[in-house]
Amino acid sequence: MLYFLFTWLDRYNLAGAGLFQYISFRSAMALITALIVSMLFGKRIINYLRAKQVGESVRDLGLDRQMQKTGTPTMGGIIILAAILLPTLLFAKLNNIYIILMLLTTTWLGLIGFLDDYIKVFKKNKSGLAARFKIVGQVSLGLIVGLIMFFQKDVVVGDKIPVKTADITVKDSVLNIRVGDKDGLTYKYVESRGPTTTIPFVKNNEFNYQWLVSWMGENGIRWTWAVFVLAVILILTFISNGANLTDGLDGLATGSSAIMGATLGILAYVSGNYELAHYLNIMYIPYSGELAVFVSAFIGATVGFLWYNSYPAQVFMGDTGSLALGGIIAVFAILIRKELFIPILCGVFLVENVSVMMQVGWFKYTRKRFGVGRRIFLMAPLHHHFQKKGYAEPKIVIRFLIIGLLLAVITVVTLKIR
């Protein structure tokens, strides 16, 4: 909102109003505002939740410290959601399709998580919202995001086309076409639509989902949209649930999300800047640079929440926060065409999710085969396995975050290692 206000005021030469034209300035303001909201108002929200006895019954792991957490206020994800939404509404271009999709994702998954926590806390139902309803909500959001990305005319990529210098005209300076030089050749970027994405570690690394159905001929290509939407749904559901499972130790999901958000912010900024995209020889995505404002608010919100969520936690985010964090990271990666980077960047979420799938699958198989269920890990998700082995909770969290930071660096390095 402030962007449009100060753009209007800039016409009257108001000192400083022009700063709002710069993504870097608005990103910095969004981050600072998110930190202020989460840190200053977070304490008031925590006190309110404690006064309302919005406490959580913690899973019994047979550890004294774990049971001491019972009664710690939950639903703290409200702090994260407020610290993301408010700065974004203030500093981002609200007519940008990518910002609209991120606001939709944050609100949608936040409401699903809030409903789950509400049932657990106020209805005294430990199961919370039935799993099938969570999945329906995640699938519905994935369907909406996938269809908008495929069919909305503002969702485009920049195709880099080599041209002769003599063929460049004045029209090449308009918004739709960008011109640049590299390796002694001249290129121009022309906006085009299509379900393309980026493959890490591969030169000229663009992949079109159309390839998956090309073997079916012309009739199959018409179903490219269905394949793309299915991929969006699977990625969104998997990562959202992965973040939810990771949220079992103080600061683990929050810290991991902050690292992933910072990495995605770098990728969004270089992808949305045609000069940097041209220099790095990566996919140029017009208008996506605005996502830097949103992700700055995301980083500020998660770091600010970590102030209260670090060991020993004064508040838990609950599903209100964890479902939203995972979904935000997944959709953000999809919007900047970096979803194939998720197995690297979101390695912590991936391993936590897979550990549960392996544990449950192996237990069911051995019970059916041998009559007695057997386990791969002492307890799943994986972080509980290390707790059962006697590792201190802060040590587990720090080591997971170090691994997450290493994966984030590898993700950024893939821009040059191809």
Distance CA 144, CA 333 (A): 16
Nearest Cα to 107, choosing from 132, 147, 77?
Answer: 77
Tokens matching residue 237 = 């559901």
ω into 162 cis (within 30 of 0) = no
Residue 17's Cα: distance from chain center in Å?
Answer: 31
- Residue pair 256/400 in contact by the 8 Å Cβ criterion: yes
What is the pLDDT, as a whole number, of residue 191? 76
Sign of the CA dihedral 126, 49, 78, 261?
negative
In the chain, domain spans: 23-156+193-413
Residue 62 zone, left/alpha/beta (φ > 0; ψ -120 to 50; rest): left
ω into 286 cis (within 30 of 0) = no
Distance CA 394, CA 49 (A): 25
pLDDT profile of the chain (418 residues), mean per 10: 69 70 89 93 87 66 57 88 96 93 97 93 84 94 95 84 56 46 62 84 82 80 90 96 92 96 94 84 88 96 94 91 95 95 95 95 93 92 93 95 96 85
Distance CA 135, CA 352 (A): 18
Cα 85 to Cα 82, 126, 324, distances in angstroms: 5, 29, 12
Cα 52 to Cα 47, 120, 121, distances in angstroms: 9, 14, 10
Sheet-wide strand order for 177-182? 157-163, 185-192, 177-182
Q: What angle (nearest 5°) sits at the alpha carbon of residue 301, between those of residues 307 and 239?
A: 105
- Residue pair 351/382 in contact by the 8 Å Cβ criterion: yes
What is the pLDDT, as a whole number, of residue 69? 67
Tokens matching residue 246 = 């990771």
What is the pLDDT, as a whole number, of residue 174? 41
